[in-house]
Structure 1
Amino acid sequence: MSGTSGRARSSNGPTFDLFDNTPELIPLRTAARSEDWNAVRAFFSGLDSVDKVSSAVAVLAGIDGTEFLLERAVADHPGDPLPRAALAERYVRIGWAIRSSARAQYVSADQFDRFHTWLRKAEQLLIELCAEQPAYAPAWTARLMTARGLQLGQAEARRRYDRLSAHHPHHYRAQVQLLQQVCPKWSGSWEAAHGFARECATASPDGSNSGALVALAHIEHWLELDGPEATAYLRGIPVRDDLRNAAQISVLHPDHRPDWNSVGAHNAFAFAFSIGGHFQDAAPHFAFLGDRASEDPWDYTSDPRTTFLKYRKSALGA
């Protein structure tokens, strides 16, 4: 996430640190670590869009130990939706860390039990919050995460997404969450995943980040394939052209205004084009990024830093 365009490359290579890449978020981290709820609330009060609020909730929930600050804030400010939404997402993060990112067959029964316990705690907060504040995007976005983790099914997840999109029709964080839900690993299908990604890309205003969902869907598909089949998939002309079109109507469109999700979106395109060997297409994305790498999707490789540097050199020649 970032609100700036490209940055000069340093001799130290890429950084995968969110706060290095988006220094505007450092005051939020400082306030959270100081357990200063007034400063946290003041940070959110200065945000000028729903997308920023939702992204900042995710950042706050991702800071270790913030559940204690948020539990106190929920008790002290029962009418404020922010602490409840952030606490719910924090509970989801704690639960998912217990579960891990491993496939279900490699997750123990005890891990699943503790995972579901945390997600049910989050869901209890979110049910009440969404009833009170039906247009509050961070709450519905978190409910897409609990729906997936609690295996509530495709129809329920889509219902939740539709409730959110009725108020915020092109909400990028929610789109990314539902894309995960409709992939085969969560009982979806590739037809549903690619269809949803293209639907988001074409329905969103020109210059939005939503086109990056096309890249994320292709990356997910690539991950499911093995060896030569995986290589051939992203090298294929239909996939390349799909990626090109999505990039042109989103982050490469003249109307694109970089925001806190743009770094992740450009990294998705840079990764997908590079894995497919389409380095000329990857070049403008690396030019935008400079040293700003994101863990997702580069963590899908065995050495994210080396892989980023290698592909950036292939794309930009330096």
Structure 2
Amino acid sequence: MSPTDPDLIRAEFDLCRQIPSLVDLRTAVRGNDWDTVEAYFDFLGDDEDERAVAANLVADLSASERFLERAVADRGSPLARTLLAARYIVVGWDIRSSYTAQHVSRDQFQSFHAWLRRAEQLLIGVCAEEPAFALAWMSRLTTARGLELGASEARRRYDRLAEHHPHHIQGQILLLQQLCPKWGGRWEDAFGFARACMDAAPAGSHAGRLVAQAHLERWLDSSDDGPGDYLRPAEVRDDVLAAAGRSVRHPDYRPGFHWVGDHNDFAGALSLGGHHREAAPYFRTLGNKATETPWGYWGDREVQFLKHRRRALAKG
């Protein structure tokens, strides 16, 4: 990148700009075109990692529940019901907000739980009919966390997912959140799960990012007043680099739809710990492509991404 490159002064968070093929899916949802939505998921076939990204995109589209409710009424397919449930979860979580529980009102919690229960009823039916339907089990990990069903129930749901899809990265990311102390878990369980997933997955898989995410969550929890120094020690740096070596830096790595998130996790875990030279290769791969986490943890997400990328590229 040259100093005059416009990518140096902006960050791109739009998933459809990062993965252009998703534009067709977004256009179909906005155009109330269920046949094209269904065809898009059929095109992805049995690549459950990419189907998870596509489902999340649909769920995040404002007011998409109206279109999906019609699709469920007209077709009633497992895909339609699951996408509608995923949208209900997003609606509920937006009401709850991302604040910690002590800053969420009783009315917010009641409405939040009502939306999640609506989603859960749809998902129970899908999972009963199609026990291997990964998207439904993935969403049930989120409802389990939001409805505070506990780690044991979340583990049970993950195990049902893993029976058929043992390296489902989005499911693993969701269970990792459940295992963090902010949701009642323990750090030893969170790190143990992240490492177990990475060790069990083929070399070059996405699972290495779970180790980076666990360190980022531990860092975020390390200070109430602002980001602490948890990520600075050499042993943390080396652990993140070793995970990257099993993942995005491995010759067998296949990027797929998760590549932007993979590289942002590693770039974040390194650069937020002051390891700017080591973070540089991940920023170079990303260019201007950024994700909400970890850059939105403290301050403006775009400012943080650009600041850390600038420092990394200057060092490495």
Q: Under a length normalisation based on structure 2, what TM-score does the superposition of the two structures give?
A: 0.95
Q: Which residue in the other structure is 1:233 paired with?
A: 230
Counterpart CA distance in 1 for 2:8 and 2:268 is 21
Q: Which residue in the other structure is 2:206 paired with?
A: 209
Question: CA 1:280 to 1:228, structure 2 compared with 1: closer, same or farther past 3 Å?
Answer: farther
Q: Which residue in the other structure is 1:67 paired with?
A: 65
String of CA shifts for 1:242-301, please: whole Å, max 9, x gaps.
101101001111100111111011101101100111112211111110010111111112
Q: Determine whether 1:190 maps to 2:187.
A: yes
| 2:290 alignment partner AA | A
- Say which SS state the counterpart of residue 166 (structure 1) adopts: helix
Q: CA deviation at 1:83?
A: 0.5
Question: CA 1:37 to 1:227, structure 2 compared with 1: closer, same or farther past 3 Å?
Answer: closer
Q: Point out where structure 1 has 5 or more consecutive residues left out of the alignment.
A: 1-7
1:223-302 equivalences under 5 Å are 223-226=220-223, 230-302=227-299
1:1-318 equivalences under 5 Å are 10=7, 12-48=9-45, 49-78=47-76, 80-226=77-223, 230-317=227-314
Question: CA 1:68 to 1:310, structure 2 compared with 1: closer, same or farther past 3 Å?
Answer: same
Moved more, 121-130 or 69-78: 69-78
Q: Which residue in the other structure is 1:4 paired with?
A: none
Question: CA 1:99 to 1:228, structure 2 compared with 1: closer, same or farther past 3 Å?
Answer: closer
Counterpart CA distance in 2 for 1:131 and 1:76 is 20
Counterpart CA distance in 1 for 2:31 and 2:279 is 40
Q: CA deviation at 1:9?
A: 6.6
Counterpart CA distance in 2 for 1:247 and 1:308 is 19
Cα-Cα RMSD: 1.6
Counterpart CA distance in 2 for 1:216 and 1:113 is 30
Question: CA 1:129 to 1:228, structure 2 compared with 1: closer, same or farther past 3 Å?
Answer: closer
Contact 2:263–2:286 at 8 Å: present in 1 too? yes
Contact 2:296–2:304 at 8 Å: present in 1 too? no
- Say which SS state the counterpart of residue 190 (structure 2) adopts: helix
Contact 1:9–1:291 at 8 Å: present in 2 too? no
Q: Point out where structure 2 has 5 or more consecutive residues left out of the alignment.
A: none
| 1:263 alignment partner AA | V
| 2:190 alignment partner AA | A
- Say which SS state the counterpart of residue 30 (structure 1) adopts: helix
Higher relative contact order at CA 8 Å, sep ≥6: structure 1 or structure 2?
1
| 2:296 alignment partner AA | D
- Say which SS state the counterpart of residue 159 (structure 2) adopts: helix
